[in-house]
Each structure stands twice: as structure tokens, then as C-alpha cells.
Structure 1
């Protein structure tokens, strides 16, 4: 945010206060050449073709972040006796000691006492305006019986960061944002799946690459539901999470894994609230949402025996509704297909079974995960692949343990005996027969 932009909104506020305070000060309504300003804010205004009234509202919402004392000081300057000025709006925060602008403040700065223009400015805060549609700016909640327009101007924190600091930090896992960014050092070529599963995964990539063209260039927006919904089924360790991570990395999209333990609440209405916050945050973002262990909330619905069953079913219906209306890619993963209600699976465009790796896949996994320096000439990975049914996650654990043992013993090569001992140790850990 440049000094010139800050001066611009300050001058606009001064202009209105001079107009109503009876001051003899001569001041013109300011102008600004956004095309010749290289700030992220000015770029944003030009890209979205926002008009002067929209621009002023956005700048006004920024004042608490860039000039905390300005509104308090300027009101004292033009109304030194402390006279109440309800047309200006604004509220005091709990910890923030300055004035937080409200919708009323925005109306006053933009149109002053022009009451005929008031309704037009109010309409900027409805659901049809880009402010709401693109989750840019909204009005805070107000007590029952008070005008909605008296709510505080709430600029999404990502835009605050963009305008003030020039970049947006990625959201962190918290109670307010129950999702974590999935990242991997692996590449797409490292993904080992059978041909059937890989073909289905590639079909999702086709949607990611060509969907916008289909919707926009061929007038399909009214005929096709937004977004794409996929179910991943498969035992633990077969690559569901890795596939989701690599899909994001391969296409340049962030993948967020939703922590359902932070979403699901025993309190009525809280689960829906948490889910709503999550999807509102993800709205218009080019994210992939990954619900791991989705059967925790998408399990088979029960008969309504009590209030708990009723609200549990309502939570599921709400989640399904939000997923269906989400415009991006949503992946739900479960260990067992039988855990998911069939009524839900019919709502998804793709259902992908991640089978345990067969002999060819196990051989490729061994070859990819064992460092080349550790492979001895006599190491028979073909036989090991045929004799031991393991998943990719198992192989990672086995290779790590076996290689550490080699190093601890002062060696540099893996033998069949060392690798088989490590496999047997992994079986014992999982309670499997050796």
C-alpha cells in the first residue's frame, strides 16, 4: 500500500467531514491515477474494473490496518466538542482502540448526505456483488433489530495481506481453518499405481485442465454442475494421500487436507458452522480439498432414533450440499468402500479404487525407494516382490529401517536377509503373520 493511496482515502474522509461540519476549509474531492500506481491494490482495482465508490469502500476497510488512529483523530479535529455524529457510523473494537468503519461509514464517505444514492451503495453489500461472490469484503454481524448496514467492514485477511504486504501467506491449520497444506518432495513419475487406477486419476487431471474451456467456450455453465467430486477408496498405505498431493503439485494447485477432528463438534450447529467457514475460505480459490477418512462424517446414515441421529444426518446433508456447490476439486478418501453410504457415492463424478499393489507395482516401488548405493548385485527384488504383499507405505518403513541397520553395522549394501528381516519386523508391527 503506497503512501499516495493512504493520502487519497484520508483526503476523501476529510472532504466529507468538511462538508458536514461547517468548516471554512476549502478542499476538493480527491482523484487518483490507479493506472500509474504499481501497488497490488491498484493492480487489483484495474483487473476487476472497480468503480470509484467500490474503490473507496475497499480503502476505507483498510484504514484500521494502515492508519489505526486516523478516524478517531479526524473526528476529534472536526467535532472537537465530542458531538455524536451517527451518520459517520463506526464502532469501537474489544481490543482495537480506534474506530472500525462500518457500512454506514462507507455510505457517508461515498455519497455524503445524498440519501437518494444511499440504496445504491447498500446494494454493494448484497450477494450479487463481486465483493460477496469473490469473498473479498462483507459486513460483520449486528445485534438483532439493528440495521445490517451498521455491521463493520470485513475485508478478507488474504486481501489485507496482499494490499499491505504485497503477498498472501498460506492459511495455517487452526480451529478457524481446519485444514493443512499437503506438500511432497516426490514427483509425478514417482507415483506407482496399477494401470486401471492411474487411468482414472488421469481422467481427473483431464477435468482440471479442460473444464474451464468446456464451461466458458461452449456455454455449458447452465448444464453442468460446478466442480468435480471424487472418491478414493483403498486400504491404508496404498497411495491415496500421495496421489492427492501429487495431483496438486503436478497441476500447480494447493492441496488442503481437512482435519475432521477439528470440524466435527458435539454441539448442535457447530459442525455446519465449521464446514461453512472452510468452504467460504476455499471459495474462488484454486485449491484441491482432500477429506481424509471421510467415513467419519460420510458413513452410512442411521435411522432417526433420537435428536443426536437427527442432527448427525443434517450435518451429512449440509456437507454434501456444500461439496456439490463447490466449484473446485473435492476428494474424499476412505479405507473401505462399504463404509460409505451408497446414496452419497451416486453424487460423485468419479470413484477410484486404490488396490493394494500387485507384483509389478511392488517391484517398481522397491526399485524406486531403495537408494541405488544400497542395492547389492545379489539382492533379488523380483522374488521379494512375489513373496511379500506390502503396500507403498510399508515399503517406505521397511527400506528406512533396513538401510539404517546397514549403516549401523558399518556396511553399504542391502542383502536379501536384511531386507526380509525388516519385512518381518513390519509384519509383526501390524499384527500380521510372518
Structure 2
């Protein structure tokens, strides 16, 4: 340890990178020999080994690293380590897979049994499920069937989000699915960073959080009682299910509907539930989930649900009526497709063993058949003048006790006169602070607030 904490962190990171590089190099050296042996044996060329299992896997207990921890955590078999390395190598040493690029001279084409898929920018070999099965089984059909379980959804590769093995489209061979190492685990085994999943077209969800506390949330007592009910479930689900012996009659999971005008605290409440229970909250971007391609919506959502189940996320569907709305009469193929998506979502949300929160501005837009399945339905109203005063006071309070308000401001009058939700009040405060600085003042004046309120009311189609 040094006297400089930042330097200590840098030294620790450097040592970790060296350990990870060493362990991965040892594993890649072994993989290279296994792959060469597999190809030579399959092509009936001279080989020093009778089968790939004559090449023992390295003893990783002698090589501490994040990769080692992952292997030991899941007690990986030899076959699982080979499949994992097959997905890792395109990122670290893609030339090791050049053997897969050799041509089948009998047809003057690449060997079909080697699998592989064409990347947009990567010019080397990218593995598929077929590549994995060839590596493990060669031409042995019985071994191939045994190894298929490694690519199934319930295997930890997929279940824990280590590999992204998407099902093949267009009724092609089952094993044409790309074998892709997820971004999360790429960083984990290389830099040691435990990243959270990023928003992408295949993962249309984003992590939401807050620096606020429950004391900052201003809601009517009845709403807070509903929220405390969800908190209690999050904290004591196991006790309720197992300790009280209710696991036979009560399903795991909790489904809540938050409804009410924009800016009334629905998203903040979801974020605070996550913060108070040390659970990640992921907001689902429903506009990105809906796809014009049949099956794509289900695939995108399944990717979120399977990770959420393992990592115990709270799922927050904002503007949920976009997908959980009332079903239409199936007069066209598009209507039938939309109804299929809704049915899938109803089933998937209902079977999710964690907490799902659906938020909407209008409760009436939610399908009635699904509304009955909520454990709680909570209305977030526009705050009355007493709650609005509290919101104004909290929004304008300072951490360093500096008073940023001019003496001419009458918050009680403003709270009573202008009906605004909490989100709109925050927007007004931001506008007022910017306006004050622009006018070279260090205090917010009444006129700043009135201008900000006017802008917010216009957004909602209202006049001052």
C-alpha cells in the first residue's frame, strides 16, 4: 500500500490485468492444440493424439484470475471451457481460428461442418453453435447430441448472460446461431470490471437510479402505504413464501401498476425501491421493443427477462399501455401479430419471479384481463397545494445551506396558485436557476419562477 489511494488502485488494476492475461494465454494455448488435434483427427491426417481429450485442460488453480474465478464458480467441465474459449478468442486472438477457414477440396468450398458466420467488419472466422459442436464431437453423432445441452436456454451460459446464443431464423439449422461473448463478461474476464448491461437494439432496457432518498419523495399517505407494501414484499418474500408456508398458494413475484399524470413520482418511486433494497431497476423502452418482424419483440424481451431473473432486477415498464393495452379484434395479420405479442407479455410478466412495475398515464388503457393480475394498483395524483409547497421547499433547498432565493419569493402563494406535478416543479427550478445566472444574479427571483411556470403550463396546453 502507498500513501496515494489512486496509485494503489492503479497498481491493483495493473496486477489484475497481468493475471488475467496470463490465465487467458494458458487457456488459449491449450485451446489451440485441441483445435488442431480435432481438425487433424477429423480429416484423418497424422496426429500425435488419439482424441482431443488426450490433451488435459490446464490447472487454473495455479493461475488466479477473473477468468479462473468464472470457471471455478460454475465448476466448468472441459467441454464448457472449450466452448467459452471459442467465443472469447475472436476478441483476443482471432488468428487461432484460421484453421476453420480451410477449404473442402472435394467441393471447393469451406467445410460446412465447421460452421461460422460472416461479420460486417470482422474478416476472420466467427463461431456458431455448429463450430462448437464440431470442436467437441467431430463426426460423433452421439457426442454431438450430448453436447447440445450447452447451447440450451437453461444452461448457465445463456441463463447467466455469459454467451448470447440467439436462435436461428428462417427455419435454418438449429446450430447456425452465432456464439457471442456478451459485453458484460468480456470486460469481466479481461479487465475485471463487472459492468452492467448496456442499452442496445437487442437489449432495449436501461438502468435507472437516483441520488434521492425516501424523504425527498412527496406523495399522499395512501400512496406511500402502497409503496411500503411493495417494500415489505421485497424485503421479506422468502419469509412469506417459505417461513409462513405459503409457497403452495402464492406465486413468486409481485406485479404493480402505477398510474397518474406525468411527473407525479412514478419513475422516482421505482428508483427508490431499487435503491432501498440494493436491487437494480431496469426501465424497458417499449418503443424499441416493438418490432415489425414477427418474433423479434419476444426475442428482445426474453433477453431482458432471462438476465433479470438471474440478477433479481426490478423491471419498470414505462408508458406500458403501448404494449399492455387493450387487444384489438384480429381482423388482419398485423392485429393477430399484435395480440400474440400481448399474450406473450402477459404470460412472461405473470411468470416473472421478481417485481414488475407498469407505469401509465391512463389506467383505462391497460388490458382489463391483465389489470386483474396486479397485486397493487396505485394512483399517483397531481399533488394538492400542501404537498406542492413541500415539493417547492425540497426542490429549492440547498445542501450547503446557501439560500438561493430572493426575499420577494412567496412559495406558499405559488404552491396555492399553480397546479404542477413534482417533475414540472423541478423543471421550473432548473429554468429559474439558469435564468438567474444569465441575468448575472446569484438569487432566484419571483419573476424567474413565474416565467418557468408559464413555460411548463404551455407544454401541457394550459395558460397562466
Decide whether the 8 Å contact of 1:300 with 1:341 is kept in 2: yes
Q: Name the residue aligned to 1:23.
A: 46
Provide closer, same or farther for how the CA distance between residues 219 and 101 of structure 1 changes in structure 2, counting only shifts above 3 A. farther
* Count of residue pairs brought into register by the alignment: 433
Residue 34 of structure 1 deviates from its aligned partner by 2.5
Residue range with higher mean Cα deviation, 85-94 or 35-44: 85-94
1:335 alignment counterpart: 361
CA 1:8–1:207 in structure 2 vs 1: closer, same or farther (change >3 Å)?
farther
Give the equivalent residue in structure 1 for 2:457: 427
Residue in 2 that maps onto 1:153: 179
Aligned counterparts, 1:273-352, within 5 A: 273-280=299-306, 282-352=308-378
Provide, for residues 95-127 of structure 1, a one-character-per-residue CA deviation record: whole Å limited to 9, x for no partner: 444334444543454456665544322333344
Check conservation: 2:100, 2:114, Cα contact below 8 A.
no
Q: Deviations over 1:184-232 (max 9, x none)?
A: 3433432222222122222222233333565577776665434322211
1:91 alignment counterpart: 116
- Please tell me whether residue 235 in structure 1 is matched to residue 261 in structure 2: yes
Q: Whole-Å Cα distance in 1 between the matches of residues 171 and 450 of structure 2?
A: 72
The reply on whether 1:13 has 2:35 as its aligned counterpart is: yes
Structure 2 gap ranges (5+): 1-19
Q: Quick one: distance in 2 between partners of 1:92 and 1:411? A: 62
Which range is displaced more, 320-329 or 179-188?
Answer: 179-188
Which residue number corresponds to residue 49 of structure 1? Answer: 75
Change (3 A) 1:217 1:148: farther
Q: Aligned runs of 1:12-411 on 2, under 5 Å?
A: 12-17=34-39, 19=41, 21-23=44-46, 25=48, 28-73=54-99, 89-95=114-120, 96-110=122-136, 116-137=142-163, 141=167, 148-149=174-175, 151-212=177-238, 214=240, 223-266=249-292, 268-280=294-306, 282-371=308-397, 372-376=402-406, 379-411=409-441
Residues 102-111 or 318-327, more deviating: 102-111
SS for the counterpart of 2:353 is coil
Cα shift readout 1:376-401 (whole Å, capped 9, x = no counterpart)? 55644334333332211221232233
Q: 1:222 to 1:93 in 2, by over 3 A?
A: farther
In structure 2, C-alpha distance between the alignment counterparts of 1:374 and 1:386, rounded to whole Å:
21
Residue pair 1:248, 1:255 contacting (<8 A) in 2 also: yes
Q: Please list every run of 5 or more consecutive structure 1 residues that lacks an aligned counterpart in the other structure.
A: none
Comparing 208-217 and 155-164, the one that deviates more: 208-217
Q: TM-score, normalised by structure 1?
A: 0.83
Structure 2: distance between partners of 1:119 and 1:202: 50
Q: Which has the higher contact order (CA 8 A, sep 6+)?
A: 1
Q: Distance in 2 between matches of 1:259 and 1:99?
A: 33
Q: Which moved more, 1:14-23 or 1:38-47?
A: 14-23
Q: Go from structure 1 to structure 2 and tell me whether the alpha carbon gap of 1:314 and 1:26 turns closer, same or farther (over 3 Å shift).
A: closer
